[in-house]
Amino acid sequence: MKTGHIITLLTDFGLSDPYVGMMKGVIAGIAPEVPVIDLTHQVQPQNIQEACFLLQNSYRHFPTGTIFVCVVDPGVGTERLPVLVKSSEHFFVGPDNGLFGFLNTDPSKIIRELKNERFFRTPVSHTFHGRDIFAPVAAHLAAEGETILSELGPVRSDLVDIAGRLPDITGDAVKGKIVHIDRFGNLITNIHEKPLSELSFENDKGIIRFREFSLPLVSTFSEAPEATPCALIGSSAHLEIFIKNGNAEKTLNAQTGETVYVYKHHG
């Protein structure tokens, strides 16, 4: 067995069904000594953008050589391609449906379409490529090393991306959206702190709008007034909406996909 690989799983399968366990069983049958880490299995069903956001903001925290198996795959069994992507430091295995679109900016990436059934669990189900293609390919890579890459299938030039994955930035305004709601009910947006910095945004020189609310920007949860929707830059370096000692999702009946605006104040 080649050493140094970790396999990390991200899915929308939840934990009440046996799907995650079956994927781990397939991996164990091929690469029993390889550690398997669960990033999350609680992605909203079929929410590719949420999965992409979570992956993009998590993968850098893993060691070089980690293999990410990502299965949020509403198009399973259709013409969407199964792929393996080798980036500068990691590997990503899953459907080419936008999950890995953020990797298009990596000039060193190598994309392989997965076609060689020697690395699959056969017969391949039309509805469970996580078990029959993605898990075994990751396990073979971990067990046999990068020498198998050229055998997996043909090279592809780029990856499908998600429309609206990044916020719209025009002049002195940023239009983003909620892309993830964590278990505390915090509403995490796709607005990175960088465009706020580029706007020279400060609490008294900008406006953060969500629905009818103008949100004060604070540095920590404890700074916020009670029972008031507020905003801060969270641990992922993205703008979040929260309610101190409360749950913004439930209080505001908020959902992913809702729009958030940031304006530079000129008064």
Q: What is the pLDDT of residues 42-72, one digit of tens each?
A: 999 999 999 999 999 999 999 999 999 999 9
Statement to judge: residues 110 and 46 lie in one domain? yes
Last residue of a domain, one of 122, 156, 190: 156
Statement to judge: residues 118 and 45 lie in one domain? yes
Statement to judge: residues 136 and 54 lie in one domain? yes
Determine the structural domain holding residue 203 and report its residue range. 168-264
Q: Tell me the sheet residues that pair with 230.
A: 242
Statement to judge: residues 206 and 129 lie in one domain? no
**How confident is the model over 3-46, as pLDDT tens digits?**
469 999 999 999 999 999 999 999 999 999 999 999 999 999 99
Q: How confident is the model at residue 200 (pLDDT cuts 50, 70, 90)?
A: low
Last residue of a domain, one of 99, 127, 156: 156
**How confident is the model over 159-186, as pLDDT tens digits?**
999 988 999 988 888 999 999 999 999 9
* In-domain check, residue 252: yes
∠ CA 68-180-263 to the nearest 5 degrees? 125
- What CATH number does the domain containing 93 carry? 3.40.50.10790
Q: How confident is the model at residue 263 (pLDDT cuts 50, 70, 90)?
A: confident
Statement to judge: residues 17 and 138 lie in one domain? yes
* In-domain check, residue 87: yes
Statement to judge: residues 147 and 173 lie in one domain? no
The number of folded domains in the chain is 2
CA distance 1 to 143: 5
Statement to judge: residues 146 and 178 lie in one domain? no
Report the DSSP pairing between strands 7-11 and 36-40.
parallel
**How confident is the model over 229-261, as pLDDT tens digits?**
999 999 999 999 999 999 999 999 999 999 999
Least confident range from 123-127, 186-190, 208-212: namely 208-212
* In-domain check, residue 140: yes
* In-domain check, residue 219: yes
Confidence at residue 197, expressed as pLDDT on a 0 to 100 scale: 74
Q: Is 40 exposed, middle or buried (0-12, 13-18, 19+ CB in 10 A)?
A: middle
- What CATH number does the domain containing 217 carry? 2.40.30.90
Q: Residue 1 above 50 pLDDT?
A: no
Quote the pTM value: 0.93
Statement to judge: residues 14 and 93 lie in one domain? yes
Statement to judge: residues 132 and 216 lie in one domain? no
Statement to judge: residues 107 and 217 lie in one domain? no
Cα torsion at 202, 229, 220, 238 (round to 10°)?
-70
Q: 10 Å Cβ neighbour count for 175?
A: 16
| Residue-by-residue DSSP string for 194-227 | HHHHHTT--TTSEEEEETTEEPPB-SSGGGSPBT
Q: 10 Å Cβ neighbour count for 43?
A: 25
* In-domain check, residue 189: yes
The mean pLDDT value for 183-205 works out to 80
Q: Which amino acid is at 129?
A: H
Statement to judge: residues 141 and 172 lie in one domain? no
Statement to judge: residues 103 and 201 lie in one domain? no
Contact indicator for 93, 136 with CB cutoff of 8 Å: no
Question: Which residue's structure tokens are 């605006």?
Answer: 261
Contact indicator for 71, 52 with CB cutoff of 8 Å: no
Last residue of a domain, one of 156, 189, 216: 156
* In-domain check, residue 161: no
Confidence at residue 205, expressed as pLDDT on a 0 to 100 scale: 58
Question: Which residue's structure tokens are 């469970």?
Answer: 128
* In-domain check, residue 82: yes
* In-domain check, residue 205: yes
Whether the ω angle into residue 216 lies within 30 degrees of 0, i.e. cis, is: no
